[in-house]
Structure formats: structure tokens, C-alpha cells
A = this chain, B = another copy of it.
Amino acid sequence: MMTPALNTVPFVSVEHMMRIVLAVGVERVLADLAGCIEADFRRWESFDKTPRIAAHSLDGVIELMPTSDGTAYGFKYVNGHPKNIRSGRQTVTAFGVLADVGNGYPVLLSEMTILTALRTAATSALAAKYLAPPGARTMALIGNGAQAEFQALAFKALLGVDRLRLYDIDPAATAKCLRNLAGLGFDLQPCTSIAAAVEGAEIVTTVTADKQNATILTDNLVGAGIHINGVGGDCAGKTELHPDVLRRSDIVVEYAPQTRIEGEIQQLPADHPVTELWQIVTGRVPGRREAAQVTLFDSVGFAIEDFSALRYLRATLAAYPFFTELDLLADPDEPRDLFGMLLRARDRAA
């Protein structure tokens, strides 16, 4: 349980996060996260929504993603720097905070590099639950980097996908993925081209990372009836799919105002029709309607998913208390006496 001290904030480090995920089980965490995200998407209208606040530079972007449901407030700090790989750093790192709207005090600070990888995969699988062909078991996984295994396990946990066809421009990435996923219940097939990978796949996940417009999927590679889970295109100037693929697909997004800037649909006119995932989750719009339909989840990651993830994490700490208390907030004996707190610290030291 949390200590009720006013001046400390529970902090979940990277090490803590790994212990929590291992204690609960990765697939269980992914399924639970998808459940939390689904529950929050059902009450979509109760959230403050704003596109993320981005600070772009030549090398990358730093973003703040805040949201609130009127009771809790959450935000995530996240960067995206493709060149980081070369200096042994993560392309994307993140941390986040959950706070009490009633008094403004933070109630949780957490690493979110791992948590973002988990919630991104959980959101993809949640979308696929409504959009993929019923009974789909085979997924092409194009891009075998940091997000790949999480996607694979989320689709296994939520949809029962257990046949993976892997491709990466770098065979070492595919080899890493094969190593990591061995023994986890998949039939794993490395492929030597994108065309080979999509063959026979009912779901195609693209999760490549490069800060530029790339064409991972061209129209001729996309057969009738498949579901495309487009995860890698997630900022202005960074896309993975040929516009012809988009024009043939029924497109589902998280939050249209943000996705039109950051997603695959930045390649389309601003009025191209899209459905927001919450509309499908709440039953206002049907998911997959027919067998031949090509569906696309144009994933960019939205603040509410991080909020859901932080809320899930906070609840999980009750059973898995892997955190420390951080002395983050000044707590003078008398709230107006901030300076006096300083004087008393001096007297204690003397």
C-alpha cells in the first residue's frame, strides 16, 4: 500500500517495472492493459483531449502528452530520436506522472519506456480485436526492433495469434526477435522479403522506425481481407504505407486531430473519412463488416492510453509493491511557511 505521507510520491523505476511485469506475466499485463484502455475508450467523452505538445529539432522530438478525466490527471514525457541507436541509446524513452486533480499533487511517477511499449502493443491488439478477420492466427511482423515482441505477445494474448512471419531490413533484428520469442508458444517464420512475410498473413503489423517517409507496404502486397496494424508511422514526415494502400482501407485511428498530423493519413486529404477506435469500442460504428474488407489501424499513440497505463500501474502496486517513495514535494509543517522549512533544515544541520 502507498504511504500516505504528503511529501512523497511513489516512484516505479525501470527495475521495478521489470519486476512487476515479470511477476504479473507479460501476456497478462498486455491483456489487462488492453482492458483498461478499452474501459477508458468507452468513456472517451469524459476525457480532456489535446494533441501532444511537441518540441521538434533536427535530430528528433520531445513531447508532452497530458490528459485528464476530471478526477485524475496524467502526462507522459516521451522523446523520439532515431539516431540514438548509434550512441547505444533508446530511440524512444519515456516517463510519466499521474496526479490528483482535486489537489494537484502527483500520486505516481513511473518509467514509461517499457510501459509505453506495453500499452502500444495492447492498443494495437485491442484495435485488431474489432478489425482483424475472425479467427486470424497468422501475423506478418515487419520491423523487428524494440516494439516487435510486445506486438507479438499482445496479439497472442488478445486474439490467439500464434504464427509469426518476421522480416526486418536488418537480419540481426529478426534473429534477436526469434531468440526472444522462442519457447513462448509461437510458430516463427523468418522471411527474406516483405512480400514473403505478408504471404498468407491475415494481419500485417508494420513497426519500422526511421524519421522519414518510407514505403514498407505497397498496394500490390495487400490482399483482400487483411488487417493492417500500422505502428511505425507516428510523426509528421514519418510514414510506412503507400497512399494507395490507405485509399483501399477502412481506416481506424485513435484521435483524428492528432493522427492527421502524425499518422499514415498525413498523406491523405484532411477530410478523408476515418473512424476513431472509441466509436467502435462503444458500438457506435461497427468494426470489421465483411471478409474482403481491408482494415487499417493507423496507430500513433494517444495520451489516454498512457493515462490508462498509469492508472493500471497504480492499481497494480497494491498487490505488487515494487516502488520507492520519492521526496519530490515540499511539505512544510505549516503550508504557508516554505521559508521556515528551510530555516529549520539549517537548524537541524547546525
Residues of chain A at the chain B interface (Cβ within 8 Å): 6-7, 11, 13-15, 18-19, 21-22, 26, 48, 50, 53, 55, 57, 59-62, 64, 66, 68, 70, 73, 75, 77, 79-81, 83-85, 87-91, 93, 95, 97, 99, 101-106, 111, 113-114, 117, 144-150, 173, 176, 179-180, 326-332, 334-343, 345-346, 349
Chain B contacts of A81 at CB under 8 A? 102-104
State the CA gap A182–B346 with chains docked (Å). 15
Is the Cβ of B176 less than 8 Å from the Cβ of A14? no
Contact A329-B90, Cβ < 8 Å, known A50-B53, A114-B338:
yes
A50-B53, A84-B335, A95-B328 provided; 9 other pairs, C-beta below 8 A?
A13-B327, A55-B66, A62-B101, A77-B106, A79-B105, A83-B103, A90-B332, A113-B338, A144-B336
Contact A327-B14, Cβ < 8 Å, known A85-B335, A335-B146, A337-B176:
yes
Contact A14-B93, Cβ < 8 Å, known A21-B342, A57-B70, A84-B104:
no
Is the Cβ of A331 less than 8 Å from the Cβ of B101? no
Chain B contacts of A337 at CB under 8 A? 146, 176, 180
A113 CB → nearest B CB, Å: 4
Q: Which 3 A-B pairs have the closest CB atoms?
A: A79-B104, A149-B339, A113-B330
Chain B contacts of A84 at CB under 8 A? 103-104, 335
- Summarize A's interface: helix, strand, loop or mixed: mixed
Contact A329-B62, Cβ < 8 Å, known A55-B68, A95-B106:
no
A182 CB → nearest B CB, Å: 10
A329 CB → nearest B CB, Å: 5
Is the Cβ of A180 less than 8 Å from the Cβ of B59? no
Is the Cβ of B328 less than 8 Å from the Cβ of A90? no
Chain B contacts of A342 at CB under 8 A? 18, 21-22, 26, 114
Contact A104-B62, Cβ < 8 Å, known A75-B77, A97-B77, A329-B113:
yes
- Can you list 8 pairs linking A and B with CB atoms under 8 Å apart? A11-B326, A53-B53, A57-B68, A57-B102, A59-B101, A79-B99, A114-B330, A176-B334
